[in-house]
Amino acid sequence: MKKLSLVLLILVGIVVLTGCSIVFDCCTPPITPPVQTCSLTVTAGFWIWGTVYINGQSTGQYIDYSIPSMKSVTVSVPCNQQVCVIIVDPCGVQSHAEWVYINPGQNSLYFAYW
């Protein structure tokens, strides 16, 4: 009987010392704050056309200097960080990279050359 009591006492001690998460899933998950998003307007300069990429990911937005309605696009980007913007033409050729620090609110980038 003493051995059984000792085993139960040890098990209770383990539960108390390690917390309830090992025995029961009673702990709440950590709360992550939502990421604040800002906007970035990319405008095509002379002889610039293609899909806008931000940090290596396609935005699905196409710009073309020769079509007034497609000369600029506005995309959502995370605030308070630097992003890399490139343009990829329909043949898969990449432009140079432009690095922009995104401040809260409206940001803009004029893509002046390929």
| 1-42 pLDDT, tens digit each | 767 676 666 777 676 666 655 555 566 677 777 778 899 999
Question: What's the distance, CA 105 to chain centroid?
Answer: 17
- Position 66 in a domain: yes
User: What range defines the domain where residue 81 resides?
Assistant: 37-111
Q: Decide if 32 is inside a domain.
A: no
Query: Which pLDDT score is estimated for 16?
Result: 65
CATH number at residue 67: 2.60.40.10
Domain assignment of residue 77, yes or no: yes
Q: How is residue 84 written in tokens?
A: 């890399």
Taking alpha carbons only, the member of 93, 100, 42 closest to residue 72 is 42
Question: What is the per-residue pLDDT for 34?
Answer: 73
On the question of pLDDT at 77 being above 70, the answer is yes
Structural domain contains residue 3: no
In a domain, 17, yes or no: no
Residue 18 DSSP SS3: helix
Sheet holding 72-78, edge to edge: 72-78, 37-44, 106-111
Q: What is the pLDDT of residue 21?
A: 55
Q: Which helix (H) or strand (E) holds 16?
A: helix 2-18
**Predicted TM-score of the model (pTM):** 0.68
Q: Give Cα separations from 30 to 23, 93, 110 (angstroms).
A: 19, 43, 40
Q: 67 in a domain, yes or no?
A: yes
Q: Assess if residue 78 is contained within a domain.
A: yes
pLDDT at residue 97, rounded to an integer: 95
Q: Is the pLDDT of residue 57 over 70?
A: yes
Per the model's pLDDT, the better-predicted residue between 105 and 99 turns out to be 99
Report how many domains make up the chain: 1
Percent of the chain with pLDDT over 90: 62
